[in-house]
Amino acid sequence: MELKKLLQDVNLKEINVDLNVEIEGITQDSRSIKKGYAFVALKGAHIDGNKYIPSAINNGASLIVTEEKPEEDCPYIIVDNPRQALSQMLSNFYSRPQDSFKFKVGVTGTNGKTSTSVMLKNIFEAAGYKVGLIGTMKYLIGDEEYNSESQGNLLTTPDSENFWSLLNLMREKGVEVLVMEVSSHALALDKIYSMRFNVGIFTNLTRDHMDFHHDFENYLEAKAKLFSMCDTGIINEDDPYFEKLKEMSLCPVKTYSIDKDVSDFTAKNVRYKGALGVEYELLTNSLIFRIRVDIPGTFTVYNSLAAASVALTVGLGYDTIINGFKKTHRIEGRIDRVNIDAPYSVIIDFAHTPDAMENVISTVKGFAKGRIITLFGCGGDRDKTKRPIMGKISTEMSDYVIITSDNSRSENKDEIIRDIISGIEKDNFEAIADRSEAIHKAMDIAEEDDVILCLGKGHEEYEIDEFGKHRFSERETVIEYYNRKRG
Give the model's pLDDT for residue 167: 98
By the 10 Å C-beta count (0-12 exposed, 13-18 middle, 19+ buried), 343 is classed as exposed
Give the model's pLDDT for residue 155: 67
HEC assignment per residue over 75-125? CEEEECCHHHHHHHHHHHHCCCHHHHCCEEEEEECCCCHHHHHHHHHHHHH
| 439-451 mean pLDDT | 98
DSSP state of 48: B
Q: Please spell the DSSP secondary structure of 352-385, one letter per residue.
A: -SHHHHHHHHHHHHTT-SS-EEEEE---TTS-ST
**Residues pairing with 287 in the sheet:** 284
What is the pLDDT of the chain when averaged over all its residues? 94
**Whole-number percent of the chain with pLDDT over 90:** 89
**Whole-number percent of the chain with pLDDT over 70:** 96
pLDDT band at 215 (very low <50, low <70, confident <90, very high): confident
Find the farthest-apart pair of alpha carbons in the chain and give their distance in angstroms, rounded. 75
Q: Express each pLDDT in 370-411 by its tens digit.
A: 999 999 999 999 999 999 999 999 999 999 999 999 999 999
pLDDT band at 208 (very low <50, low <70, confident <90, very high): low
Question: Which residue spans within 278-323 are E strands per DSSP?
Answer: 278-284, 287-293
Task: Decide which of 147 and 363 is more confident.
Answer: 363
Q: Please, what's the b/e burial string for 359-388 (b: 16 or more CB within 10 A of its CB; e: otherwise)?
A: bbbebbeeebeebbbbbbbbbbebbbebbb
User: Would you give the end-to-end CA distance of the chain in angstroms?
Assistant: 64
Q: Express each pLDDT in 27-58 by its tens digit.
A: 999 999 999 999 999 998 889 999 999 999 99
Q: Express each pLDDT in 303-315 by its tens digit.
A: 999 999 999 999 9
Decide the pairing of beta strands 345-349 and 336-337: antiparallel
pLDDT band at 216 (very low <50, low <70, confident <90, very high): low
CB 450 within 8 A of CB 372: yes
Q: Express each pLDDT in 232-274 by its tens digit.
A: 999 999 999 999 999 999 999 999 999 888 999 999 999 999 9
- Crossing angle, helix 82-93 and helix 160-172, to 10 degrees? 20
Q: Does domain 336-486 have CATH number 2.102.10.10?
A: no
Q: Where are the domains of the chain?
A: 3-93, 97-326, 336-486
In angstroms, the CA 413 to CA 406 distance is 9
Residue 469's contacts (CB-CB under 8 Å, 6 or more residues apart) are 462, 463
pLDDT band at 150 (very low <50, low <70, confident <90, very high): very low
In angstroms, the CA 318 to CA 313 distance is 12
| 283-302 mean pLDDT | 95
| 138-147 mean pLDDT | 90
Quote the distance between the C-alpha of residue 64 and its chain's center: 32
Quote the distance between the C-alpha of residue 378 and its chain's center: 17
pLDDT band at 149 (very low <50, low <70, confident <90, very high): very low
- CATH code for the part of the protein at 3-93: 3.40.1390.10
CB 344 within 8 A of CB 452: yes
- CATH code for the part of the protein at 97-326: 3.40.1190.10
